[in-house]
Amino acid sequence: MRSRYAAAPEPSGSPGEPAGDHELETYLQELGRWRLRREHELTAIDAATRTHDDRAALNAHVTESMKLWHAVAQRHDLLLSTWHDGGTSAETRLVLNQLIWGLLEQPDGDADSLALSLPEATRLSDSLTVALRAQVGIDDDHIDPRERVVSLREGVARLREHARTVETGRQEETEGVLQDLEGRLGSTRERLAEGEDVTVQLGVLQTDLASIERRLLLTDARARHDRADHAQVVAEREELLARGEAVRSLAQRALATINPAPRLGIPDVAALGEVPTDEAELTTFVGNLERVSRALDQAHSTYAAALAEYADLADRAQRLAQTLAGCGAPTSVDLSGMLTAAKESLNNRPADIQRAAALVAAQEAYLAELRPDA
């Protein structure tokens, strides 16, 4: 279905089987575009909910979608750091594969988000955003309703295929829900053929499809995550090893880019040793993995925030340069000189972040006084 909205890119390769260099680079570029477009979409949806009659209920869905987007954005940061630091070696490709197919971390420790891989999270984000657009009236009106019907039918087929991999009791429950959705979709299709406006019905169906997909994904993923058998814990340890390497790359980039930079210890997952086979020892090992995971989450958030502060300062300095270029009026303060000093501070390696922040803030404050209507 054609859409101006973000659509999750499909990664090449599969768990344990890394893609080639070109395919990985293409995926990272497409994921970056998806990330930017989805952020803009969610910002627009958030603004639309502020005047919506069902604002309270919508806020919870918007918050959930924002959290999911944030988890994807964090993983994208780690992927980029690993890619830039490691080049195209076989070892780097293996780490990238683990980061793509491993479980996402969430700063607030949300267990649901922890249970999703990157491809699952981006697909779920697509579904949730489609549903939100329908609920707040930012819909795919420019798309032929017949194409939306086709997309919904494909979605039902995809979920029915997915349901075959979950536990037997849940298969029957999910099949019943999908049959109900399929029946309503058939009725909507008939009304469309008779010339009726089915925009509202299509929006409700998209919302329900997203809800089913979310429930199915999280139920399936939580079952995998909670299954503390030896093979599952080995897989989780490998994923955590890859994430640890990526966080170290992010920390090194922060230390090389800004001063002062955070200085947190990055836990060594390998120091936990190999996964034990004894059941009691395995339970203890899982607890240790979870503690290390939380420490990595904290380090990731801290270093990413420091780099985000640097990027924000650079953007503010650029906006100041554009403002000064169009100002044209002399002032009693050497704003151009201050801007040059700020840019020098930002361009140094590592950048003097405190001096740059003070200079940028001083210029912004002065310009606000000089041009109160700006």
pLDDT at 201: 82
Kindly write down the DSSP assignment for every residue of 263-295, as one continuous string.
Answer: ------GGGG-SPP-SHHHHHHHHHHHHHHHHH
Kindly write down the DSSP assignment for every residue of 210-264, as one continuous string.
Answer: HHHHHHHHHHHHHHHHH---HHHHHHHHHHHHHHHHHHHHHHHHHHHHEES----
Cα-based distances in Å from 113 to 14, 102, 219, 249, 332: 21, 12, 12, 23, 53
> Which residues, given as ranges, of the chain have pLDDT below 70?
1-4, 86-88, 105-115, 139-143, 166-170, 221-228, 327-333, 371-374
> Is-contact 20 88, C-beta < 8 A?
no
Cα-based distances in Å from 307 to 81, 238, 261, 293, 343: 12, 27, 9, 21, 16
Q: Tell me the C-alpha distance between 81 and 86, whole Å.
A: 8
- The enclosing H or E element of 352 equals strand 351-352
pTM over 0.85: no
- The enclosing H or E element of 351 equals strand 351-352
Q: Tell me the C-alpha distance between 69 and 50, whole Å.
A: 20
pLDDT at 86: 67
Among 173, 158, 199, 136, smallest CA distance to 128 is for 136
Among 270, 265, 220, smallest CA distance to 240 is for 270
Which conformational region is residue 347 in: left (phi greater than 0), alpha (psi within -120 to 50 degrees), or beta?
A: alpha
Q: Tell me the C-alpha distance between 312 and 363, whole Å.
A: 15
pLDDT at 271: 93
Tokens of 43: 């910002």
Q: Tell me the C-alpha distance between 32 and 38, whole Å.
A: 10
pLDDT at 141: 53
> Is-contact 104 120, C-beta < 8 A?
no
> Is-contact 114 105, C-beta < 8 A?
yes
Phi and psi at residue 329, in whole multiples of 5°?
-105, 135
pLDDT at 351: 94
pLDDT at 113: 46
pLDDT at 114: 47
Q: Give me the chain's average pLDDT, please.
A: 83
Count, in order, helices (H) and strands (E) of the chain: 12, 2
Tokens of 181: 């959705």
pLDDT at 102: 85
